[in-house]
Amino acid sequence: MTYRVEIIRAFKNPRFKISMTIALTFIAYHILFWNLPRSMALEIPENPTICPPSLYNCWLGLDFAFPYTQIYYWVLPILATFPFAGSFFTDRKKGYIKNILMRENRSAYLKGKCLAVVLSSSCIVGVPLLIDLFVSAMLLPAIVPQVTTYMFPISIVGMWCDFYYSWPLLYIFAFILIDMLFISCFVLTSLIVSRFCKYEVEALLFPSLINLIIYFICSWWGETQYSSAYFLIPYQPSLNTSIYIVLFEFVVLSLINYFLFYHWGKKHDISL
C-alpha cells in the first residue's frame, strides 16, 4: 500500500510536471532549431566526401556541436531532484510520517519513499532523452559511425568505443540507463540530508552542490574522468572515462544511501 501511495504522490505532484515541462522544452529547442534544420540541409548536395549529419552524432547526448548539451546534463540532477526528493523533509515537518507509521512500519515507508524518488527522477532523466532520440530518428538518417570521418564524438580510446562504432543504438540505450540509475542514486542523498536541513531547498540543492564541488575539484586536479558532470555525458568530454569508475562511484553512492537513510531509518524515530 505504501509503495503505491508514494508512487502516486510522486507522479501526480505538480513539481513532476514542472520538471518534465522544462526538460521537454529544452528537447524541443534542440529538435526545432538544430536537428530540423540539419534534416532540411540533407536535400542540398554539397561536398560528397563529407559525412552528412547522422542520428548518432545529432542525438542530444552525442551532439558535441550543440553548445547546450553539457549545460543540460549539469541541470538534469536539479530537475530530477525537484519533483519528490524533498518529500521526506515535508513529511517530517508536517507530521505526515506520524500518520503513515500508525498504519505501516518504518521499513515499508522508507522503501516506498526510495522507490518513488528513484522512479520519478528516472523518468525526468530518461523520457526526454528518449523523445529526443525517437524524434531525431524521424528527421535524420542513422548512418553508422565511422572513425575516419572525424564527425563522430567517441575517440578510439573512449569508453565502449568498439560498442559505439559497432552497435551505436545499443550504446545510446546503455548510456541512458546509466544516466537514469546514477542520477537517481545521487538524488537519494537528498533524503539523507533532509534530517539536518532547516529548509527544503537545502535538501533539494544538496546533490547538485556536491556534484558541482566534485566537478571543480576534478577539473582543478586534472582528473575529470572522476566527475559525474563529465562521465554521464554520452559524447564523453573526458577522454579517460571508464566504466569501472562509474560502477565504483555508483556502488559507493548506493551503500551511502542504504546505510545512512534506510538502515539508519529502520532503527531510529524518523518522525522527529
The model's pLDDT over 83-134, given as tens digits with 9 standing for 90+, comes to 999 999 999 998 888 888 888 888 999 999 999 999 999 999 999 999 999 9
Sign of the dihedral through C-alpha 233, 144, 149, 46: negative
Which pLDDT value is given to residue 95? 87
Which residues in the chain land under pLDDT 50?
A: none
Predicted model pTM: 0.94
The model's pLDDT over 244-268, given as tens digits with 9 standing for 90+, comes to 999 999 999 999 999 999 999 988 8
- Grid cell 522544452 in the structure block, residue: 25
Residues whose CB falls within 8 Å of the CB of residue 227, separated by 6 or more in sequence, listed in order: 211, 214, 215, 217, 218, 219, 238
Q: Rounded to whole angstroms, how far apart are CA atoms 264 and 266?
A: 6
Say if residues 187 and 83 touch (Cβ distance below 8 Å).
no
Which pLDDT value is given to residue 44? 52
Which pLDDT value is given to residue 103? 82
